[in-house]
Structure 1
Amino acid sequence: MIQAFKILGWLEGASFLTLLFIAMPLKYMGGNPALVKSMGPIHGFLFIGYVLFANFLASELRWSGKTRVAAFLAAVLPFGTFWFERKHLKTEKA
């Protein structure tokens, strides 16, 4: 289960970074909103999945309140999901 969460976190983080650093500049500086239109819903789906999965794992693994908050903040910060995996999931058994 943790391995699936790590994969989901990687996908969510990658989609967020793609939106921030590729799609948004193309839209606002290049006048081409196509990538935002296609990546936006994909990222939204991955974001919701990440938050729901984090909530489920927090209950199952009895994460502390601090770890729960870190998991949810990781979803909204650039590079956050990658940081969360290294910091909080490194010690969990896959």
Structure 2
Amino acid sequence: MPRTYAGWFRAVAIAEAFSWVGLLVAMAFKYGFQQPLGVTVMGWVHGLVFTAYVVTCLVVFSPLRWRFGVLVLALVASIPPLASVWFERWANRRGLLTESDSDEPTFWGRVRYAVRELN
């Protein structure tokens, strides 16, 4: 089991890519061999993993201190097949998958503070 935000992100990004491949293979069986059951199953699996990827991006961008543009790129990478793995490798090369030791509040910390102040 992953123990860091980066580890969770990597695991979900790779799972999202595998689910894309599974869905593409199932589509080939559906349209090539008239076997639609695979798309029914893999469509559901891919939808679940896709949702997990989006939620994971929204959770990890703050502790990993991604800029908003990086978050948008991570979310856009969920749409083309296998782009989530490309994004994970790109982010890793640029050091975006390491947690910084900054004392500055994270995005969600600022949101929590703003909500507390409004109450």
Q: 1:11 aligns with which of 7, 10, 15?
A: 15
Q: Greater relative contact order (Cα 8 A, min sep 6): structure 1 or 2? A: 1
Q: Which has the larger radius of gyration?
A: 2
- 1:40 is aligned to 43
TM-score normalised per structure 1: 0.89
RMSD: 1.5
Cα 1:59–1:93 change in 2 (3 A) is: closer
TM score, norm. by length of structure 2 = 0.72
Q: Which moved more, 1:53-62 or 1:68-77?
A: 53-62
Number of aligned residue pairs: give it. Answer: 93
Q: Is residue 57 of structure 1 aligned with residue 67 of structure 2?
A: no
Higher helix share: 1
Instruction: Give the structure 2 partner of residue 27 of structure 1.
Output: 30
Q: Which runs of 4+ in 1 moved over 3 A?
A: none
1:93 pairs with one of 75, 88, 98: 98
- Which position in structure 2 is the counterpart of 1:2? 6
Give the % identical residues. 32
Pick from 74, 79, 82 the counterpart of residue 82 of structure 2: 79
